[in-house]
């Protein structure tokens, strides 16, 4: 169950309380998020929608430990991340978060296999174990025959699927997806969304996704709208 | 080690740029190696000079002779243990470009004065028994294919005519750095055959009883011959060799200046290349950080690239110098000990790595400080 009133279950996987984010733009102070509350249970698939500049990506960045809030707290799986220092936050990200970006953000000099292997380089897994994990992840996204392909040799949809394999390969606590279908044609977008749906339904992955695309949003269990820095509950898709 | 592939892949991103950067390192290290080799060649005499040997020469100039009678007189001076002498012959073998030092030596005392030079006993006996005999250094013998038993012509530019010598032996050096490019022949043969300068020698070499007294003995020798027609100037062998090097100008300063300019330029070039490379990859670095790579890990990744550039360039450049020096002295005899010592190769590699680290440090720190959200926004 997803709640935005700050009265959620204390055992919720993600707990956001009174979250504020303010940017300084010249002499002007811009409030991007205002006193935001959010509770997300394990296994939920949540879509955040809202107009440009409503703070969707900012919220995702804060939830992923890429940025720090001006006020408030974020607790994930019992760990409050808002006070973690740089190296600890990096280690936390490596362990708990899988990121999927709009532009895929694969490293062009590495093959699909090597890109997916990246998060595992930060673990203590040996070479053979890393290989096994990568092969499983690429098989999961249907690209086990593209191991040695470079990003330039893949279609946009395939690149995004490699990026999803990279996001799940280390079995993170939750996935953060920023406009995962934003750069894809309808067919590829459908495939990517089907994959995310499967990860949520079959593997119980918790997924928080920012999107502009209503078709993508309706695949999520819960849709939340961000308006002027505040969250409003919407209609779930499936 | 598991990050090596990541660093290596980045090097292969733009092959032309990588090749040129490594090439610039290689050229700089080639120049460094060459300059160090030249400096080593110049200083070799100073390095190997005996601590208990003095060189006595004519006070006016090295090219002015001294009388033969000084040998006996010097042996009378307290602190003097042994004396030998030699005269510069200044000829060439077959062709003017085939130059190597030739000395007319005092056959009874020469080897005792220079125990670092080794000649087989039978060859030395043959040398003593033959008035027209000569002993050739191993390097020169190898270079010109000279063997024991050969009769070789030396064109004498000072004394005139072609002088033929019977090669009776090949000498070697006890240490790598000992000069084995010389040719020795008997001074008595020179004195008998030359038309002028009879009864004179080029310089004396004196062994002192105690190296601590070297300066006092040198002073005593010069005082002994003061106000004579042939005044002397006596130095320790090391000072003599250093003075000889000094005549060539301040080689060390020259090397430092040229080397410094080259490396500074290299630093700018490599630093700029890396900075460009980091700027181009801002988004990728941000992705790495997003995945959980720490700031320090990203710093090392960038620094690793720089070190890889420099290590490869350094090894290439130094290997090229090593190959170049394997052919020996390219000056035709001016730098007989022309080689790159292993210690200098290690120094070169360290210099290359230090340059690589210095060039990479600013881009690496910039990469380390990169804020993920700012960088991702630019993707």
The answer to whether residues B179 and B280 belong to one domain is no
Q: Which helix (H) or strand (E) holds A18?
A: strand A14-25
| Domain carrying residue B268 | 4-45+250-378
Query: For A129-171, what is each residue's pLDDT tens digit?
Result: 999 999 999 998 889 899 999 999 999 999 999 999 999 999 8
Q: Kindly indicate the confidence band of residue B145, based on its pLDDT and cuts at 50, 70 and 90.
A: very high
Q: What is the mean pLDDT of residues B1-30?
A: 85
DSSP state of A223: E
3-class state of residue B50 by DSSP = coil
Q: Indicate the residue among B230, B261, B289 that finishes a domain.
A: B230
User: At B134, which helix (H) or strand (E)?
Assistant: strand B133-137
B65 and B206 part of one domain: yes
The Cα–Cα gap between B33 and B103 comes to 31
- Contact (CB<8Å) A122/B9: no
Same domain assignment for residues B71 and B219: yes
Distance CA A231, CA B116 (A): 91
**Distance from A122 to chain B by nearest Cα, in Å?**
7
Contact A94 B291 (CB under 8 A): yes
The whole-angstrom distance between A91's CA and the closest CA on chain B is 6
Q: Which of B3, B291, B373 sits opposite A61 (nearest CB)?
A: B373
With CA atoms as reference, report the closest residue to B206 among B196, B194, B195, B219. Answer: B219
Q: Quick: pLDDT tens for B216-225.
A: 999 999 999 9
* Residue B237 belongs to a domain: no
Instruction: Give me the residue from B12, B283, B373 closest to A105, CB to CB.
Output: B283
Closest CB from A91, A95, A109 relative to B10: A109
Mean pLDDT value across chain B: 87
Domain total for chain B? 2
Percentage of the residues of chain B whose pLDDT score is greater than 90: 42
Residue B184, classed as helix, strand or coil, is: strand
Chain segment A190-218, per-residue pLDDT in tens: 888 988 988 888 888 999 999 988 888 88
Residues B140 and B258 in one domain: no
* Chain A residue whose CA is closest to B2: A121
Which residues in A lie closer than 8 A to residue B6 (C-beta atoms)? 110, 114, 118, 121
Last residue of a domain, one of B171, B200, B230: B230
Q: Residues B223, B109: one domain?
A: yes
B67 and B28, same structural domain?
A: no
Shared-domain flag, residues B272 and B310: yes
Q: Is residue B367 part of a domain?
A: yes
Query: B362: distance to nearest CA of chain A, Å?
Result: 20
Q: Is the pLDDT of residue A47 over 70?
A: yes
* Domain assignment present for B236: no
- Between chains, do B289 and A90 touch, taking CB under 8 Å as contact? yes
Q: Is B337 inside any structural domain?
A: yes
The verdict on B34 and B67 lying in the same domain is no
What does the pLDDT look like over A79-106, one tens digit per residue? 889 888 888 999 999 999 999 988 888 9
Tens of pLDDT, residues B37-64 = 887 777 766 665 667 899 999 999 888 9
User: Of B5, B13, B291, which has the smallest distance from its Cβ to A119's Cβ?
Assistant: B291
Grade residue A238 by pLDDT with cuts at 50, 70 and 90.
very low
In this structure, are B261 and B208 located in the same domain?
A: no
Average pLDDT for B243-272: 74
Q: How many CB pairs under 8 A join A and B?
A: 66
CA-to-CA dists, residue A181 to A150, A217, B291, angstroms:
20, 10, 20
Q: Residue B333 above 90 pLDDT?
A: no
Domains of chain A: 42-69+85-233 (3.40.50.300)
One domain, residues B272 and B372: yes
Q: Is residue B240 part of a domain?
A: no
Q: At what angle do helices A86-96 and B295-326 cross, to 10 degrees?
A: 100
> Is B293 in contact with A90 (Cβ distance < 8 A)?
yes
Same domain assignment for residues B209 and B336: no
| Beta-sheet pairing, A174-178 with B117-118 | unpaired
Domain ends where: B197, B230, B263? Answer: B230
User: Both B152 and B223 in a single domain?
Assistant: yes
Report phi then psi at B5, rounded to 5.
-60, -35
pLDDT-derived band at B151, boundaries 50, 70, 90: very high
Kindly tell me if the per-residue pLDDT of B19 is higher than 70: yes
Burial class for B273, CB neighbours closer than 10 Å (0-12, 13-18, 19+): buried
Q: Please tell me which residue, B265 or B103, carries the higher pLDDT value.
A: B103
The verdict on a CB contact (< 8 Å) between A86 and B292 is no
Interface test with A, best of B17, B287, B293, B304 (most A CBs within 10 A): B287
Kindly tell me if the per-residue pLDDT of A236 is higher than 60. Answer: no
ipTM score: 0.90
Band the pLDDT of B148: cuts 50, 70, 90.
Answer: very high
Cβ–Cβ below 8 Å for A86 and B379? no
B245 has a pLDDT exceeding 80 = no
3-class state of residue A16 by DSSP: strand
Record: contact A103-B379, CB cut-off 8 A: yes
Which pLDDT value is given to residue B68? 93
Among partner residues A87, A107, A121, which is closest to B294 by beta-carbon distance?
A87
User: Is residue B244 domain-resident?
Assistant: no
């Amino acid at each position: 169950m997803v709640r935005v009133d700050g009265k959620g279950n204390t055992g919720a996987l993600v707990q956001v309380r009174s979250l504020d984010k303010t940017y300084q733009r010249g002499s002007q102070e811009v409030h991007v998020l205002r006193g935001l509350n959010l509770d997300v249970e394990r296994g939920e698939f949540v879509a955040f929608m809202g107009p440009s500049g409503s703070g969707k990506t900012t919220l995702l960045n804060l939830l992923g430990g890429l940025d720090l809030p001006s006020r408030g707290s974020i607790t994930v799986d019992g760990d409050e991340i808002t006070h973690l220092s740089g190296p600890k936050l990096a280690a936390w990200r490596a362990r708990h978060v899988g990121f999927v970006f709009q532009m895929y953000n694969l490293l062009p000099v590495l093959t699909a296999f090597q890109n997916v292997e990246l998060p595992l380089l930060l673990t203590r897994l040996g070479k053979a174990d890393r290989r096994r994990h990568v092969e499983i992840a690429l098989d999961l996204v249907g690209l086990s025959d593209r191991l040695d392909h470079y990003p330039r040799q893949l279609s946009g949809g395939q690149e995004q699927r490699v990026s999803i394999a990279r996001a799940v390969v280390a079995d993170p606590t939750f996935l953060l997806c920023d406009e995962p279908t934003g750069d894809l044609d309808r067919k590829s977008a459908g495939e990517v969304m089907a994959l995310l749906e499967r990860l949520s339904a079959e593997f119980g992955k918790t997924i928080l996704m920012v999107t502009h695309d209503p078709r993508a949003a309706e695949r999520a269990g819960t849709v939340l709208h961000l308006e002027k820095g505040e969250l409003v509950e919407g209609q779930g898709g499936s | 080690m598991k990050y090596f592939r990541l660093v290596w892949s980045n090097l292969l991103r733009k092959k032309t740029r990588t090749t040129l950067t490594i090439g610039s390192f290689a050229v700089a290290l080639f120049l460094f190696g060459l300059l160090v080799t030249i400096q080593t060649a110049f200083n070799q005499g100073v390095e190997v000079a005996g601590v208990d040997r003095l060189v006595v020469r004519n006070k006016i100039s090295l090219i002015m002779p001294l009388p033969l009678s000084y040998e006996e007189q010097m042996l009378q001076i307290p602190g003097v243990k042994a004396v030998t002498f030699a005269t510069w012959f200044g000829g060439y073998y077959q062709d003017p470009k085939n130059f190597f030092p030739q000395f007319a030596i005092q056959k009874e005392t020469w080897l005792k004065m220079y125990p670092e030079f080794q000649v087989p006993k039978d060859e030395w006996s043959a040398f003593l028994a033959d008035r027209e005999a000569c002993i050739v250094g191993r390097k020169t013998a190898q270079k010109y294919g000279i063997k024991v038993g050969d009769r070789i012509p030396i064109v004498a530019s000072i004394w005139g005519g072609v002088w033929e010598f019977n090669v009776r032996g090949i000498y070697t050096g006890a240490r790598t750095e000992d000069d084995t490019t010389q040719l020795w022949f008997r001074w008595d043969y020179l004195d008998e055959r030359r038309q002028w300068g009879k009864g004179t020698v080029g310089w004396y070499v004196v062994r002192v009883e105690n190296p601590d007294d070297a300066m006092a003995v040198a002073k005593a020798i010069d005082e002994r011959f003061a106000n004579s027609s042939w005044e002397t100037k006596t130095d320790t062998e090391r000072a003599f060799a250093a003075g000889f090097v000094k005549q060539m100008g301040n080689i060390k300063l020259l090397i430092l200046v040229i080397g410094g300019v080259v490396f500074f330029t290299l630093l700018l070039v490599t630093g700029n290349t890396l900075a460009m490379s980091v700027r181009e990859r801002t988004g990728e670095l941000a992705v790495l950080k997003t995945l959980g790579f720490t700031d320090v890990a990203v710093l090392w990744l960038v620094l690793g690239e720089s070190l890889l550039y420099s290590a490869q360039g350094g090894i290439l450049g130094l290997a090229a110098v090593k190959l170049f020096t394997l052919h020996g002295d390219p000056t035709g005899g001016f730098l007989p000990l022309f080689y790159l010592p292993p210690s200098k190769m290690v120094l070169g590699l360290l210099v290359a790595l230090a340059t690589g680290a210095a060039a990479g440090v600013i881009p690496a720190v910039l990469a380390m400080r990169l804020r993920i959200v700012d960088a991702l926004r630019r993707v």
